[in-house]
Structure 1
Amino acid sequence: MKKILFVHAKGGVPLEHAIPRLGACGELHVLALVPLPNDAEVGWRAHCRDVVDCEGRRIRGEELVELIVARAKAIGADAVVGFSEYVLLAVAHACERLGLPGPGRNAVLSRDKRLMRERWAERGVPVPAFRRVGSEADLLDAYRALTPPLLLKPAWGAGSVGQAVIEHEDDVAPAWAAVRGALQQLDGYGLGECYETEAPRQLLAEEIIKGTVDGWYDRPGYGDYLSVEGLVVRGTFHPVAITGRIPTIPPFTELSSHAPCALSEPLQRRVEDVARRAVDALSLDTCGTHTEIKLCADGELVVIESAARFGGSAITEVVETVFGVDMVTMLIRELLGEAADPPSAMLVEGTGAAAEMSLIGTDTAGRPWRTSPVWDSRTAELNRLVSPGSHVRHVPGLTVADGTAIPAYEPARGITNCAGMLFLTAPTVDQLVTDTYAILDGLEARLVAAASVDARPDGGVGPADAQERSC
């Protein structure tokens, strides 16, 4: 049996989705760079031959690459893979040294957004105007050189973490302070680049793309950007499907990803073409891809970014549910040298509809919740919020423990405001979108109502129990 080393860090594909698929392809060994989530609900550990825990040690840079290489050699790994944005570059370097397939030596182009945009500008891929910034003075210069409003963001970031909008010159100083503070705080939580040690000090400012859904969607409810999910196999890009979005909340925090895409096929093919140009320009080897694209006026498209890994949260499960394509298994088989036969062209039609949604303390307009309800999967009864034929559940590996209070929304924290992820299925895309709004706009009241229920024989908890468990 072939042997697989999986390098785990925060983010990426949920373990309960990834690990059973990896384990079905070979003998699975896990190198955990951060503490592993509770396995009680999903039983993913049974699929692992062993788990090596770094026990809270912060291993970075070349030391991390050497650790991965040493562990891979110790088990005789035939493939090394990681799904977190933060370990992508370290895994790529390790694969190069081991002579194994991986993202390739150009993986840095998919991590450092400054290099990414510079490469795309050279190759004629449409991107927003931007400037590198390493200080508040640089940011002020960028504000005066570019056309505001601007977005200040980390060059090595993910999930809209550490972003701020700058509309006026007076916004420069507070935006710089807010973003730098957020990045320092989040790095302490293990949400930071693991290879490039200078990453927290490397930012960029870019003009905010003026997006629109006019001329794209023939129905309401959709956001003005989407992403193309796919993979690169030995240098050839294989787009699999588009996942759409409802509008983000300030600054640009995502609330959901859904499939199938409601755009007409000709418009989807236009998106596919731009995604192909963007991914091809990065010259990757073998990896997952997640390419975000903005919809603009007059049929124009602008590329936001493209990662050399699968979309995080439950995006791979959304694609598999609707299109029947198991991208995780497809990638690991390619890394093991087994042809996986990816789609020859992007899929535009599926069966049913699915979405993953953020368990987050705002409504769909970005208005923060007025209360701090406690999450409890046993009493939430989220299916009360959806239409007949739809079903919603939480994603255990990405959701806080029962009894945890939902945190107040802080814009600079991006997707890390999430207390968890929800997974929705519906018979049609129209019902899916309707139910997505119903869930996100009704979630606060539903959790408050659930918390008000007295202790019940079926295991429900009342407010006193919930308060104890949230401490």
Structure 2
Amino acid sequence: MSKVLLVHAKGGPPLGHVLSRTAARAEVHLLALSALPPAVAGPARRLCASVVTPDETHRSDLVSLIVERAETVGADAVLTFSEYAVVAVAEACETLGLAGAGNAAALARDKRLMRRTWQQHALPQPEFRPVRTEADLHAAARELAGPLLLKAAWSAGSTAHQIIRDPREVPAAWARSREVMAESAQLGFAELHVAEADADFVVEQIVTGTASDWFDEPGWGDYVSVEGVVAGGTFHPVCISGRMPTVEPFTERASITPALLAQDAQDRIVDLARRAVDALGLRDCGTHTEIKLGAGGRMWLIETAARFGGAMTVPQIEEVFGLDLVGVLVDHLVGRPVEWPERALTPERARGAAGSLVVLAVDGEGEAWRGRKVWDFPSVTADVSLSRGSELSVVPESSLADGSVVPVYDPAAGANTMAALCLLSATTPKTVLHDFEVLVDALPHVLPAARPEEVPA
């Protein structure tokens, strides 16, 4: 049986889902760079041939650590689903002579390099400037027409985003973004391999998106993601996921599979995603490409990752299209033949629809809840009326325990202040969108109020 070294770190699809699908195809050896979620610790030890959690003294050279562990277990493939470990795993695979994202992995991780590469290929994207100092940011604010978005070059989950509408806001935005990156590192949401990655930023013009030119019904966000796989350097699109509108500044609230797009629109979006991935030169990995949708058919590339989409994107695709992305990637990496979809799967091929909702303490208008609330999923299922045939569940490893106080939403911290991750299965994408809107409106009313003594000081 083939052997796989799975490198776990925070972020990405739920570890429980990834482990079960990988273990169905290979003998799994788990290298845990982040603590295992309590809900997964037991199953992990049953599903894995070995589980190793290295101490801090062994993490200074992460690539060597991965290579050594892969050689010890005789791994036929090494993979990760975490944004923060992508570059280290790609470099380890190069050293080991195994299939992987390749030397181009950093181009799909560092937003500065990514944008430079797309600029060289004349691909549509916002105007940008790399930033390493406050002086760089001041210079960019003079050169670029606002409003601008400051983001960390190596971040994920919409963390450290700051909107700059006036050059006078530069000092505060710079200080807050750097502060959030330091806080994220303490929580384990930070690049694990590249030294001083928390000092790298990029600032870009905010382009104006519109969903109405792309979707027939209201409620959709003005961007989508194209999920795919690169195998032997060839990009294979899988499907397009739609979104609800983001929460300011650009924190993602919900992903919905599939996106309800006309065939012509889907073809144009997939073509841009293909050109974006091809420009980066990735070799063997999952991909997740986000694209902003504008008026008159305009599009702008937001970013591409050399891994599958996070949250519940992968489980959604399996539920809706019957495609086990984790399993087929494992098969490919260990050298088994794989039949990829001939073209991106469309809503006509879907068996219902699915979506994932990030629970944030803001209402449908993006306004903060009045008063602190306690997360209690049983109250949600008991008191929120969803559409007939819809089924709502919570993802334990990505959610606070029932009885926990919901964090105050921090626009700069993004997904770091989420309370829970919910999965909804429904009959159509339109139903998912409707039920999520109902949920967002109902949550501040159905969740119990936190007692004063429960609220953190």
What range describes the TM-score normalised by the shorter chain of this pair? over 0.9
Q: Shift of residue 326 of structure 1?
A: 1.0
The answer to whether the 8 A contact 1:382-1:439 is kept is no
Following the alignment from structure 1 to structure 2, what is the Cα–Cα distance between the partners of residues 256 and 39?
A: 23
| TM-score normalized with structure 1 length | 0.93
Equivalence for 1:352? 352
Instruction: Please give the per-residue CA displacement for 1:202-233, whole angstroms capped at 9, x wherever unaligned.
Output: 10110011111232111100110010001100
The answer to whether the 8 A contact 1:228-1:292 is kept is yes
Indicate yes or no: 2:93 matched with 1:95. yes
Equivalence for 1:394? 394
The answer to whether the 8 A contact 1:5-1:72 is kept is yes
The answer to whether the 8 A contact 2:383-2:446 is kept is no
Q: 2:259 aligns with which of 255, 258, 261?
A: 261
Q: Shift of residue 40 of structure 1?
A: 6.3
SS of the residue 1:227 aligns to: strand
Following the alignment from structure 2 to structure 1, what is the Cα–Cα distance between the partners of residues 30 and 248?
A: 36
Are residues 326 and 207 of structure 1, via their aligned partners in 2, closer, same or farther at CA, if it must alter by over 3 Å?
same
Matches within 5 A, 1:48-197: 48-55=48-55, 57=56, 63-197=61-195
Following the alignment from structure 2 to structure 1, what is the Cα–Cα distance between the partners of residues 158 and 87?
A: 19
Q: Which runs of 5+ in 2 are unaligned?
A: none
Equivalence for 2:39? 39
Equivalence for 1:460? none
Range 317-326 or range 44-53, more displaced: 44-53
Matches within 5 A, 1:263-342: 263-342=261-340
Following the alignment from structure 2 to structure 1, what is the Cα–Cα distance between the partners of residues 171 and 379?
A: 45
Following the alignment from structure 1 to structure 2, what is the Cα–Cα distance between the partners of residues 289 and 31?
A: 22
Following the alignment from structure 2 to structure 1, what is the Cα–Cα distance between the partners of residues 382 and 80?
A: 32
SS of the residue 2:38 aligns to: coil
Aligned residues: 455
The answer to whether the 8 A contact 1:34-1:54 is kept is no
Equivalence for 2:421? 421
What's the C-alpha RMSD, in Å, of the aligned pairs?
Answer: 1.9
The answer to whether the 8 A contact 1:146-1:207 is kept is yes
Following the alignment from structure 1 to structure 2, what is the Cα–Cα distance between the partners of residues 325 and 272?
A: 18
Following the alignment from structure 2 to structure 1, what is the Cα–Cα distance between the partners of residues 170 and 108?
A: 27
Instruction: Please give the per-residue CA displacement for 1:389-448, whole angstroms capped at 9, x wherever unaligned.
Output: 111110112112222111000001011111221000111222111101011121121212
Equivalence for 1:244? 242
The answer to whether the 8 A contact 2:109-2:154 is kept is yes
Are residues 417 and 385 of structure 1, via their aligned partners in 2, closer, same or farther at CA, if it must alter by over 3 Å?
farther
Instruction: Please give the per-residue CA displacement for 1:265-284, whole angstroms capped at 9, x wherever unaligned.
Output: 11111101100000110100
Range 215-224 or range 42-51, more displaced: 42-51
SS of the residue 1:244 aligns to: strand
Equivalence for 2:233? 235
| TM-score normalized with structure 2 length | 0.96
AA of the residue aligned to 1:443: L
Q: Which runs of 5+ in 1 are unaligned?
A: 452-462
The answer to whether the 8 A contact 1:382-1:392 is kept is no
Equivalence for 2:9? 9
SS of the residue 2:39 aligns to: coil
Q: Shift of residue 171 of structure 1?
A: 0.8
The answer to whether the 8 A contact 2:381-2:392 is kept is no
